[in-house]
Structure 1
Amino acid sequence: MRDAEEFDAFYAACAGRVVGHVHALTGNRSEAEDAVAEAFMRAWQRWHSVREADSPEAWVRRVASRIAVSSWRKTFNRVRAHRRAAVEQSVPGLNEDHVALLQALQRLSANQRRAVVLHHLNDLSVAEVAAEMQAPVGTVKTHLARGRSAMARMLGEAHQEGTTHG
């Protein structure tokens, strides 16, 4: 029973952060929740080894991110076709800044997006991001610098469009 109680406490402590992380990566809350649920199920199945990891939360976050990316790859063509055919739609509850941020994140490379989300939205240090991404610190710094620069350009363009057309 100790395992179940320990796992329940672990889940309660970090599930929201992991969903937030994957949501920022995917831009889709329901996909994020599905990926995180799957990751926690896998963590429970391997709990004896996962709980011994340096960071069980990082293990779940990494697995959930991979599940989300895999799901995204499977549906990419359908989503792209839908976007071409769909008329512009607004999402209730999201303000323009939030939408612009999510759109900018989606336009980054996968590694830049992951580094930016881990560092700026999950408040991980550069060293922690490097450990989670299994990449050298210098590479993470490059991903962060390029990602921030690209987002600044994209968000600046979105702001200019909003002021000239709005």
Structure 2
Amino acid sequence: MREDDDPIRVIYDASYRRLVGQLYAVCGNRGDAEDAVQEAFVQAVYHRRRFLEMDKPEAWLRTVALNRIRKGWRRGALARRVLSRGTTAPPTADFGLGPDHVALVAALGRLTPVLRETFVLHYVVDLPVATVANELNVAEGTVKARLSRSRALLADLLSDREGAEHV
């Protein structure tokens, strides 16, 4: 089999950039997002047969990558402080992320991890509430409450940014 014909390579080519963008929105650090997505693909290769039988391989990859991000957050208070301050370098232009996206990621970095994950899965990844609830293993009402809370917090954070720009 040629490398170009490998089904995992095809999935990688189709979804790597999208997954990195989604995980960047969750964690606020491009390097961590890339590492998490790469680790997810390593797991896909390791569990090749089971991975190739999945109905939604990209959802599985996203879940594995999110779990890696969560594990990093649990490692210590220092990592949580750095991520929550949004002190990471902005992404480079090769991902096509403009200043609005960077501002949104910085604002997302000020949300709690559970609010951030819920927001990104629903609004960035464009998953329905029921699917987000399933991926996060919570009730749909919990997802709706988190979405409402995150929208309110982001509205305040982003309106503060806009007010500062016009001063």
* The two structures share one fold, judged by TM-score above 0.5: yes
What is the TM-score normalised by the length of structure 2?
0.80
Once the two structures are overlaid, the 10-residue window that deviates more, 72-81 or 53-62, is: 72-81
Match in the other structure for 1:119 = 122
How do 1:31-110 and structure 2 match up within 5 A? 31-74=32-75, 76-77=77-78, 80=81, 91=90, 96-110=99-113
Show structure 2 runs of 5+ residues with no match.
none
User: SS state of the match for residue 75, structure 2?
Assistant: helix
* CA offsets 1:2-26 (integer angstroms, 9 cap, x no match): 9x71211122221122111111111
| CA distance in structure 1 between the partners assigned to 2:123 and 2:161 by the alignment | 20
Residue in structure 2 matching 1:140, options 126, 139, 143: 143
| CA distance in structure 2 between the partners assigned to 1:69 and 1:17 by the alignment | 19
Distance 1:65 1:89, change over 3 A: closer
Distance 1:95 1:117, change over 3 A: same
User: SS state of the match for residue 107, structure 1?
Assistant: coil
**Which AA in structure 2 matches 1:37?**
Q
| CA distance in structure 2 between the partners assigned to 1:123 and 1:89 by the alignment | 25
Asked if the contact 2:20/2:37 (under 8 Å) is kept, the reply is yes
CA-CA distance at 1:151 after TM superposition: 0.3
Residue identity over aligned pairs, in percent, reads 40
CA-CA distance at 1:32 after TM superposition: 0.7
Show structure 1 runs of 5+ residues with no match.
none
Please state if 1:22 is matched with 2:26. no
| CA distance in structure 2 between the partners assigned to 1:90 and 1:36 by the alignment | 19
CA-CA distance at 1:148 after TM superposition: 0.7
| CA distance in structure 2 between the partners assigned to 1:112 and 1:78 by the alignment | 18
User: SS state of the match for residue 13, structure 1?
Assistant: helix
